[in-house]
Amino acid sequence: MNKVLSRINLRFVWPVALLIVAIIAAADYYSGVLITVSAFYLLPMFLVAWTRTRPETHLLVFVIVIAWTSANYLSDGAHLSQGVIAWNFLIRWLHLTLTAELIRYVSHLLKINSELANTDSLTGIPNRRSFNSKMENMLASSAFGKITTFILIDVDFFKTINDNHGHQYGDALLKRVSQVLSKECMKNEFCGRLGGDEFAILLCCEDFTDINNRIKRLAARLSDEAASCSLGTAIVNKGEPIADIFEQADKALYQTKLGGRGFATIFDGTSYHKAI
């Protein structure tokens, strides 16, 4: 449901909702008291309650109740007393308000569940599933351009750090790594925690000089602000399977570990070389 509604341009929510209310009110007027269409007022209310703010939702509820009551009165309500009209107005407002709040509550729960499913609980950045999904969308979109660079990051000797300083210290270190990666991301770039002490980041660079400079800067920032990390980098080609990209970066990361750790190795499509 969230995916479907997220595709709706929010600028059109209110005009569409008001148009639906008008159509239902007209149908309510012409059908008279023998045929009711009042249940359809829930449609525009659902649309607004799910996608807009609480004040906007309550404003639409008021508009619906006005339209509903007016249609009934003009159709066959002239004989009703003011007290009955006021009572019906109140009950309709209460019914729609409670229903709207329930819709908003369900929407909120689904949003939280979606965030939990796609966010690493420790660091707050995307988890492996979310990162892979973002990467697939990136490679398939028009935003793919320049030179896209995929980087795998491992914290050096993380198990030893955990053993010597405790898991609480290790968790704090992983949070600092995620903060450095998040700060490094610019427009159309993103990072994620793949699991344990393994992270990934996707960068969009201007040229190979920019790739080299950004990777060196990232390695230096990680060392200064978090911990010594080893990096393996692969240049991404559009349409290339994600599994192949991961494999290339993983092999580059292995070269870094063989070479002493704490720096980055770049795979340019034909060979591996150290970022200098």
Closest alpha carbon to 233 in 213, 223, 225, 224: 213
What are 165-171's contacts with CB under 8 Å, separation 24+? Answer: 171/122
Does residue 257 form part of some domain?
A: yes
* Same domain, residue pair 216 and 263: yes
* Same domain, residue pair 36 and 158: no
* Same domain, residue pair 38 and 103: yes
* Same domain, residue pair 268 and 177: yes
- Per-residue pLDDT tens digits for 207-259: 888 888 999 999 999 999 999 999 999 988 877 889 999 999 999 999 999 99
CA 93 to chain centre: 34
Does residue 36 form part of some domain?
A: yes
Kindly report the pTM of this predicted structure. Answer: 0.68
From 118, 138, 173, give the residue that closes a domain. Answer: 118
pLDDT at position 60 is: 96
pLDDT at position 19 is: 95
pLDDT at position 276 is: 67
Does residue 9 form part of some domain?
A: yes
* Same domain, residue pair 111 and 145: no
Tokens of 209: 């000089």
* Same domain, residue pair 87 and 107: yes
Q: What is the spatial distance between Cα 139 and Cα 237, in angstroms, rounded to a whole number?
A: 8
pLDDT at position 222 is: 94
* Same domain, residue pair 112 and 179: no
pLDDT at position 7 is: 54
From 85, 118, 151, give the residue that closes a domain. Answer: 118
Please work out, in degrees rounded to the nearest 5, the angle formed at the alpha carbon of residue 127 by the alpha carbons of 122 and 259. 90
* DSSP codes, 44-97: HHHHHHHHS-HHHHHHHHHHHHHHHHHHHHHHH-TTS-HHHHHHHHHHHHHHHH
* Same domain, residue pair 162 and 221: yes
With a cut of 70, list the residues of the chain below it in pLDDT.
1-9, 33, 77-78, 142-145, 276
From 99, 118, 137, give the residue that closes a domain. Answer: 118
Length of the chain equals 276
* Same domain, residue pair 26 and 59: yes
pLDDT at position 5 is: 52
CATH of the domain at 189: 3.30.70.270
Does residue 123 form part of some domain?
A: no
* Same domain, residue pair 254 and 218: yes
Looking at the structure of the chain, the number of domains it has is: 2
Does residue 164 form part of some domain?
A: yes
pLDDT at position 34 is: 75
* Same domain, residue pair 51 and 91: yes
* Same domain, residue pair 35 and 152: no
Domain range enclosing 11: 2-118
Residue 218 burial (10 A CB sphere; 0-12, 13-18, 19+): buried
